[in-house]
Structure 1
Amino acid sequence: NIPSNKLTFRSYWIFSAFYTFGIIGAITLEQGDIGPGYILVCIVIFQAFSLLVIQELVKSNRHETQLAVYKESIKNMTSLFTTIRSQRHDFANHIQVLYILAKQKEHEKLLRYIEQLVGQITSINEVLLSDNPELSALLQTKIAQFAQEKIRLRLHLTSSLTELEIPVIELNQIIGNLLDNAADAIKAADYPSDEILLETIKINNKVQIKVKNYRPIIPIYLQKKIFEYGFSTKQNHSGLGLAIVTSLVEKNKGTLCLISNEKVGTEFTITFPVKEMKKIEQKTG
């Protein structure tokens, strides 16, 4: 990857050369006496500069996208640490309340308070993956976000996904986009269900990531179109989320499968090979 300052410097010289060549070409054309060979050379040079300009624009856009993803990742991590610090800060207060309720023999209130407290602790512990703090941060953020939208994010994580070769930033992009897509579908269909399930499973030399919402169902005629760039059935949506997921899955040698019917619900399953499998393939190759 090119640092932003080098990218800007190189882009400046390419744009300057492109502009200068355009001016020279315009003056030369006005003066006349230009042979067909010279015009052909000018066209080739002009096209070459055009391709360079397009290349620089694509690189610049990619750099901005990566920067936005890193900022979102940092925001998620900050949110997770804030939640943990808040619970630790309140721990002493909870102990005092429990002590007073126990001393006053308010057994029913004591049980209710403990149940609520355990619920909070369970919620944060569900997403505390010690070997994958970036994923923990993302999931904690999504749990809080969806809770405000009256949607429950249920987790069944038997793999922390550290077995994968995929960069954690791209992994979070995939999972984040799938979760957002499921939540958007639930809201757009006026809440036919209020739960999303995220599951990670290691099976032999592969890891599966499943994101499932029980309703709504995606019609068969739309099940391929939803992965196309710019396609969206929802208003004010760019239609890029699932296209980005598809691109990142293919880039990291994974597969993406969609099942959506009345029996199963709507389930996206992504399968990636684990690190050991890739190393074996490289050695035998």
Structure 2
Amino acid sequence: MSALSFPNYLMAVLSLGQALLITVFTQYLVYFKTSIPLSWIVLVDIVVFGNTILGFILLRKSLVVEEQDNLIRQQARHIQDLEEMIRNIRAQRHDFISHLQAVYGMLQMGKLESAREYLAEVTGDIRILTQTLKLKSPEVAALVQQKAALAANRNISFGLVIETDLSKLTVRPHNLNRILGNLLDNAMEAVMFLATKDRYVRLEIREDEQSYILSVGNSGPGIREDLREKIFEPGFSTKGENRGLGLAIVREIVQQHGGKIRVSSPPTIFTVTLPKAGAEQ
């Protein structure tokens, strides 16, 4: 069940407060032996406690409705991510003929090297799409596709290796996307000042018997050894003011789910280990 929202929390406090107040008041009347008939006191107690019970019943129903609303929103996001994947697949199919025509034209003109480079780029896009389709989570697959497209727009080579479907992951897709999104964004920022030919980001998603291993590496400058723990502290950043929350958020999510995160450098590689469902902690 989800955590109490403010209206539900207020309802619970009022119900408990009402019961506590009438209990104290009743004890006061009994202690000072007031002239109010005992039957009236009992009747008031019954009414108030009945109202309290009714309040908790309404609170329970409200929580159920709230949980259903959350489920509906999650399903809506799930559908949006599926639609995004379908659009990407359709776009790939639509562009395929155009790519073939372009390669054929370059071959006709004898531009073999240009055709080779063009094919390498096209097959790279297809490979990324094929890799992400292995994942059971369309939300995560859609995020990886979007980050790969962003890397292409920034002239960053994007390496991708996916050797698992993440079917036993205990982290919700939303939180896993926060982990991957922050790590990939940081990796792309780290290589942007390099020459185009030197920009490289790599994502690996693997597994062993107990855990899933997510690795995000980049070809940017290394991280000094004395900073490798500080970079996970909230507010710490080498990129200026009002920065430095991304890695702190990543570590918090990872630790909340019983995982670990470490960084090695150079080359800079962030490795997140998350336990599988049912694995021994």
State the TM-score, normalized to the length of structure 2.
0.63
- Cα separation, 2, equivalents of 1:74 and 1:184: 30
- Cα separation, 2, equivalents of 1:181 and 1:119: 22
- Cα separation, 2, equivalents of 1:236 and 1:129: 39
> What's the CA shift for 1:87?
2.1
- Cα separation, 2, equivalents of 1:210 and 1:128: 19
2:240 to 235, 238, 252: 235
**Within 5 Å, which residues of 2 pair with 1:72-83?**
78-83=83-88
> What's the CA shift for 1:215?
2.3
The alignment of Structure 1 onto Structure 2 pairs a total of residues equal to 219
Residue number in structure 1 paired with 2:272: 270
Q: Does 1:210 align with 2:215?
A: yes
Q: Does 1:175 align with 2:176?
A: no
SS of 1:138 mapped into structure 2: helix
Q: Which protein is bigger by CA-based radius of gyration?
A: 2
Amino acid at match of 1:170: N
> What's the CA shift for 1:234?
0.9
SS of 1:275 mapped into structure 2: coil
| Contact 1:73–1:169, Cα closer than 8 Å, also in 2 | no
2:158 to 133, 153, 157: 153
CA RMSD of aligned residues (A): 3.8
- Percent identical across equivalent pairs? 32
Taking a change above 3 Å as real, the CA distance of residues 148 and 237 of structure 1, as seen in their structure-2 partners, is: farther
Q: Deviations over 1:146-191 (max 9, x none)?
A: 222222221111123223222121111111111111112223xx22
> What's the CA shift for 1:270?
1.2
| Contact 1:256–1:269, Cα closer than 8 Å, also in 2 | yes
Taking a change above 3 Å as real, the CA distance of residues 145 and 277 of structure 1, as seen in their structure-2 partners, is: same
| Contact 1:77–1:138, Cα closer than 8 Å, also in 2 | no
Q: Does 1:195 align with 2:197?
A: no
State the TM-score, normalized to the length of structure 1.
0.62
Taking a change above 3 Å as real, the CA distance of residues 181 and 150 of structure 1, as seen in their structure-2 partners, is: same
SS of 1:277 mapped into structure 2: coil
- Cα separation, 2, equivalents of 1:12 and 1:267: 46
1:9 to 7, 10, 35: 7
| Contact 1:73–1:138, Cα closer than 8 Å, also in 2 | no
> What's the CA shift for 1:210?
1.0
- Cα separation, 1, equivalents of 2:270 and 2:146: 21
Give unpaired runs (5+ residues) of structure 1. Answer: 15-65
Taking a change above 3 Å as real, the CA distance of residues 134 and 227 of structure 1, as seen in their structure-2 partners, is: same
Taking a change above 3 Å as real, the CA distance of residues 177 and 219 of structure 1, as seen in their structure-2 partners, is: same
SS of 2:278 mapped into structure 1: helix
